[in-house]
Chains A and B, each alone.
Chain A
Amino acid sequence: MYATFADGASQQVPATEVVLASNVAGVITEVVNQGTSQAATMRVAVGASAYVGDVVTATWRVGNETLGSGVGWANLTLPLPTLVTATASQSRVAPPDDSATTYPIS
Chain B
Amino acid sequence: MVEVFSRAATGASDVSSAFHCNSTDMALLGTYDNGANPHPHLTLALTRNLALTLTLTVTLTLILTLTLTLILTLPLALPLTRGGPAGCTLVLSGREVGGGTASVLLPALSLSLHMRVWYPINATVSIGDGQLHRISGVGGLSSVYQSTDVVVLATFGGEGLAPVVDVDVSSLVTLSVANSSIATLDSDLRLHGLAAGSTILSVSSAPMLSVQSSITVSDTPVELSQLQVLLVTGVAWQTAAPDTVALSMTPASGPWSGSFGAVVQLEQRLASEGDVAEVLALALTLALAVALTRTRTRTLTLTLTLTWPRSSCTPRSRTARRSRCRRLRLS
Most chain A CB inside 10 Å of its own CB: which residue of B146, B227, B268, B284: B227
Residues in chain B near residue A45, CB distance under 8 A: 273
B138 lies within 8 A of A67 (CB): yes
Nearest A residue to B284 via CB reads A4
Residues in chain A near residue B222, CB distance under 8 A: 5-7, 9
Of A58-66, A83-91, A96-104, the one contacting chain B is: A58-66
Q: How large is the interface on A (under 10, 10 to 19, 20 to 34, 35 or more residues)?
A: 35 or more
A7 CA to B222 CA, complexed, in Å: 7
Nearest A residue to B130 via CB reads A9
B305 within 8 A of A: no
B205: min CB distance to chain A, Å: 25
Number of A-B residue pairs having CB atoms within 8 Å of each other in the complex: 150
A43 within 8 A of B: yes
B146 lies within 8 A of A9 (CB): yes
A41 lies within 8 A of B135 (CB): no
Known: A44-B275, A66-B138, A77-B271. A4 touches B143 (CB 8 A): no
Of B45-53, B118-126, B228-236, B240-248, the one contacting chain A is: B228-236
Residues in chain B near residue A65, CB distance under 8 A: 137-139, 142-144
B149 within 8 A of A: yes
B129 lies within 8 A of A9 (CB): yes
A18: min CB distance to chain B, Å: 8
A20 CA to B277 CA, complexed, in Å: 13
Known: A66-B137, A68-B137. A5 touches B223 (CB 8 A): yes
Supply 20 A–B pairs (Cβ within 8 Å), ascending by A. A1-B229, A1-B331, A2-B228, A2-B283, A41-B277, A42-B276, A43-B277, A44-B272, A45-B273, A47-B273, A60-B227, A65-B138, A65-B142, A67-B138, A67-B144, A68-B227, A69-B227, A70-B226, A73-B296, A74-B268
- Which B positions have Cβ atoms within 8 angstroms of A? 128-129, 131, 133, 135, 137-139, 142-144, 146-149, 190, 222-231, 268-284, 286, 289, 296, 331
- Which A positions have Cβ atoms within 8 angstroms of B? 1-13, 20, 29, 39-48, 55-56, 58, 60, 62, 65-79
